[in-house]
Chain A
Amino acid sequence: MESPAEIIPHSGGVIGVSWLMIALPLIGAAVLLLGGRRTDRWGHLLGVAMSLASFVVAVASFMELLGLDPEQRRRAYELYQFIPGVADMGILIDPLSISFALLITGVGSLIHIYSIGYMSHDPDRRRFFAYLNLFVAAMLLLVLSDNYVGLFIGWEGVGLASYLLIGFWQFKPSAAVAAKKAFIVNRVGDFGLLIAIFTVWTTFGSVAFGEVFGKAGEASQNTLTAIGLLLLLGACGKSAQLPLQSWLLDAMEGPTPVSALIHAATMVTAGVYLVVRSGAFFEAAPTAQLVVTIVGVATLLAGAIIGCAKDDIKKGLAGSTMSQIGYMMLGAGLGPVGYTFAIAHLITHGFFKANMFLGAGSVMHGMNDEVDMRKYGGLFPVMRITAITFIIGYLAIIGFPLLSGYFTKDGIIETAIEHNAILGWLAVVGAGITGFYMSRMVFMTFFGKRRWADDAHPHESPAVMTVPLIILSIGSIFLGGFLVLDNRFMQFLAPAVGRPEELPVFHFVSPAGLATLALVAVGAVFAWFRYGAAEVPRVAPRGSFLTTFARRDLYGDALNEALFMRPGQWLTRIAVFFDNRGIDGLVNGLAAAIGGTSGRLRRVQTGYVRSYALSILFGAAVVVGALLYVGNM
């Protein structure tokens, strides 16, 4: 294969000021947070403006990049010295990072706009927009940074933003807990990422992409595998891959736009970015690559299964997000071709999943924040735009022919199969399940009987919310085809991720593709009979073992509790006890001992002069004895 292009120092032009992408939303966040209530009236507008502005910069940089000859398309420049001798703050604009930048700022801006409507009744809307801006800035730093340290800062920055936004309604204990959980689980991943960075540093003496990837081949196999696995651990944390998936479903406590932007479109895909960005290491460490694919497949199945059992529409979508990122991971473990499809799928997924989340949000908006699909049903007539856009997204995700998902997901599956048959076919199965649970969602929500609560008066959402839906759904329709057909996206990404010898040709008719379609169809039909045609009880039936298994998120939380939480609590109690009784007890005990000795000793001072005389005589005897002994030695 042909390796990625050199990273070229850059100055001037729009790219030269591309750091504005990060700076603008950051300023927005700062103004809104420091400004306080004073900025309540126009705060949300500022937030949107900043996000749009940074989108504009992104587009401009993208144009400038396209203007360059493909081999020249990796431009980096230093902002300032961060930690002298270790890491500098630098920006890397290359096809990979710019496509992310576009996704983040583009979809991000849409979601900003949507939120104006969605959060209109919330007293803290300004704070919400501040956090959104903060997130955008951090996410851009993550993808635009030209070294691992900068990336890590963005990495944790988005973690913070996610923490703040999940816990945005912090007065709800559930939200507060979910936020904390998300941050802590992410920290486990960050631990891996940190160690990975240390290893990179000690191995290559640098953390800058430009320097380390070139030397990747020289490092020892074990080192590279270690780096790969540690990076993967980090990716699992951020992207809710097994075994660090548990936080994502709880994260749905956050306002829906957050779920759409952070926990569907962008942040959770950072893991994929990390793996693809570090491709150089993974390609040199097949073991690590294999693990990546396995994790991907496992997660895509797990997410799909979970998705089947959820009655909470957002959790259902969350499950599907997990599963879709599983697909991306799988792709990211398959070398350049896989990268392309992974990123392509990531982008299309960004669109249709955001689309569906916002749609769900719109539904909740109309159903005064009801999330239980068993209380929905027959909503199609009352909120047509929402329904239609949602259905478009649905078709896209299940891979309905010629829609976005069809191209990108299929690409991943194809590549997977020729790479590793078992994993590939498992992915196909996953697609089938996807067909089932997504259909189930659609049927339960928009069709069938109306099972609404009595006080529910569903209505279509305002334009400020529906327009973004429409735009996103358009993306969900065409983007996939545009990217995948005649390898546009692969050509574009090649300078960043490398190019395979022979480019894949997209077969509209392939065994895998047909199989996928078939399975999806089966799933959809099955779903129709169970949830479309049949009666859906308003309270969930007990369901089989499998159902409970899925409802309980495959016992992920139970496992964590049993393995980490409870032992942790015990350990803590023991440690505290040991500290108070053990160490401190020892110290105080010593003091007490001396005190006691003193108390007993002073009794010797009886007050009788004759006993004193005795002590003198005794002392004299000892002294005499001692001197004689020493003297005659």
Chain B
Amino acid sequence: MNGTTITAPTIEYALLSPMLIVFGAAIIGVLVEAFAPRYLRKSIQMPLTLLALLGAFVTTVLAASNGLPTTAAAMGAVAVDGPSLFIWGIILILAFISALLINDDEQFVAQAAAVPGSVDEEEAVRSGFAQTEVYPLLLFAVGGMLLFPASNDLLVMFVALEVMSLPLYLLCGLARRRRLLSQEASVKYFLLGAFSSAFFLYGMALLYGYAGSVDLKAISAALGSVSGQDTLLFVGVAMLAVGLLFKIGAAPFQAWKPDVYQGAPTAVTALMASTVLVAAFGALLRVFWVALGNLDWDWRPLMWGVAILTMIVGAVLAITQTDIKRMLAYSSIAHAGFLLTGVIATGTAEQNSSALSAILFYLAAYGFTTVGAFAVVTMVRDAGGEAGHLSRWAGLGKRAPVLAGIFAFFLLAFAGIPLTSGFFGKYAVFTAAVGGGALPLVVVGVVSSAIAAFFYVRVIVLMFFNEPAADGPTIAAPSVGTSAVVALAAAATVVLGVFPQPVLTLADQAASALFIR
């Protein structure tokens, strides 16, 4: 956009329709909250949300099916290209699954405003209130996630970032059980999120100062032409990186992840752990490959350090965790590290595309497994709600062999054992990394995955090799939604682990043209 002559903007509605559908549905949801009687809301919101996500997915597929566009949509503000469409696909499916998880009153507070244990709390519970705002919030967040990786200039990206994050901040605070933890998670996530987005914004400002534009294309162009303001550039890039790395939870910006994942309602954790990671990586790739592609010699060493640190911190710290959700949080940090090795693997065009497709595949594989794992977590409960503490999981294999078996399978997938999706994800990324000449990084990667294997295995030991505790947790009779989620995730993990080729092909096609500029 150059500001001198104002031309009427053109909007490719077809391409943007997925986002439009999601946002539209979200707004309708708000209206529903406003006007529909309480007893109706849920029965409206639920289908509405699912339909919206489904519709968005369909339109995404349609958009993808009639050829990849070569120019950015909406006056170059939104780049609906292969990677975006693939990421949208993943996000929408995962969001759909997570939405199924939410379909369960037990998780969300009856009335967020009510003080825990207070009279009106009981009142709210008795009269069967349900915080149905959850659904529109979810839709807004998803909308943000769709826009985030697709945004082709930093401003849009910033807005998307906020649109994605703000609803999540709220959702984190809505757990019905363990309200204090939930609210604490919410406040921490909010403050830190705001803090980091300030960094993002400042970095954006500096880049704007450097390039005279926040358009990714323009910035990369400026890298060639502009000279003498390197400090501005580097500081800007650094702060931008901080904002993005915070979102993917890379060390040393990972501190929020364990707390938030543990405190938030598990359904929301599932959503964040899967979709937010996907969206954030999309954005990260776009910024660093499109805008800063020519700068890679400068940021690669940085990324090396971050990747190594992230992998090791994630793996090592997870070993001593005692809360299952917290452990999974650290594992997701470690996985972010593995993914970063792919981000670094730039080089020739086809090297890039292979790295990109590897990352896309990894994201898909990891997303499904994660949602599945958290879905299982929601089902293992005791008096105080979900039985988070690992010791409570002892002997689960005897109580609920099938559930424990599936969970063990997910864990093996996280650990990257062959014939699970996790293995091929790791394999693809590491292959790309080696191709990109990052062999040492891969060695660190495998060492830390060996360490990581330890705590996944530890949980299996607990579930299968230890005798069950006397007052062990009960397995909640899973709602249709939850069991569907588990089944879907397990199926995906198996299929991607045995016949990854179709998805790989899809990822390749998506990555073939790389990001449009």
Contacts and interface: CB of A to CB of B under 8 A. Distances in A.
Interface of A: 591, 594-595, 597-599, 601-602, 605, 607, 609, 611-613, 615-616, 618-620, 622-624, 626-628, 630-632
A609 B192 contact: yes
Interface stretch (B3-11, B59-67, B208-216, B250-258): B250-258
A627 to B, nearest CB: 4
A628 to B, nearest CB: 5
Interface string B289-304: 0000000001101100
Interface of B: 187-188, 191-192, 195-196, 199, 230-231, 233-235, 237-239, 241-242, 246, 251-253, 255-256, 258-259, 298-299, 301-302, 305-306, 313, 316-321, 451, 454
Contact of B320 (A598, A611, A616, A619): A598
Nearest to B252: A619
Contacts of A599: 320
A599 to B, nearest CB: 5
A612 B189 CA distance: 11
A594 B319 contact: yes
A624 B320 CA distance: 32
Contacts of A616: 192, 195-196, 199, 242, 246, 252-253, 255
A605 B320 contact: no
B246 A627 contact: no
13 contacts: A609-B191, A611-B255, A616-B195, A616-B253, A619-B252, A620-B239, A624-B235, A626-B238, A626-B302, A630-B298, A630-B302, A631-B230, A631-B298
A609 B188 CA distance: 6
B242 A620 contact: yes
Contacts of B259: 605, 607
A144 to B, nearest CB: 56
Contacts of B298: 627, 630-631
Given A605-B255, A619-B252, A628-B234, A594 B451 contact: yes
Q: Is the interface of B mostly helix, strand, loop or mixed?
A: helix
Contacts of A620: 199, 238-239, 242
A615 B259 CA distance: 15
Given A598-B317, A631-B298, A613 B305 contact: no
B239 A613 contact: no
A627 B303 CA distance: 10
A602 B195 contact: no
A612 B239 contact: no
Contacts of A601: 313, 316-317
A598 B316 contact: yes
Nearest to B295: A631
Given A609-B187, A612-B255, A626 B301 contact: yes
Given A599-B320, A620-B242, A630-B301, A613 B192 contact: yes
A623 B301 contact: no
Sorted from nearest, which 8 A-B pairs have the closest CB atoms?
A619-B252, A612-B255, A624-B238, A627-B234, A598-B320, A598-B319, A623-B238, A631-B234
Nearest to B318: A598
Contacts of A605: 255, 258-259, 317
Nearest to B258: A605
A623 B241 contact: yes
Nearest to B190: A609
Nearest to A625: B238
A225 to B, nearest CB: 54
Given A594-B451, A598-B320, A627-B234, A619 B305 contact: no
A592 to B, nearest CB: 11
A626 B317 contact: no
Contacts of B299: 627, 630
A628 B229 CA distance: 12
Nearest to B242: A620
B300 to A, nearest CB: 9
A602 B317 contact: yes
Contacts of A611: 255
B246 A602 contact: no
Nearest to A599: B320
A612 B256 contact: yes
Nearest to A614: B255
B253 A632 contact: no
A595 B320 contact: yes
Given A594-B319, A609-B188, A612-B256, A624 B239 contact: yes
A527 to B, nearest CB: 75
A612 B238 CA distance: 19
Given A609-B187, A628-B231, A619 B316 contact: no
A608 to B, nearest CB: 9
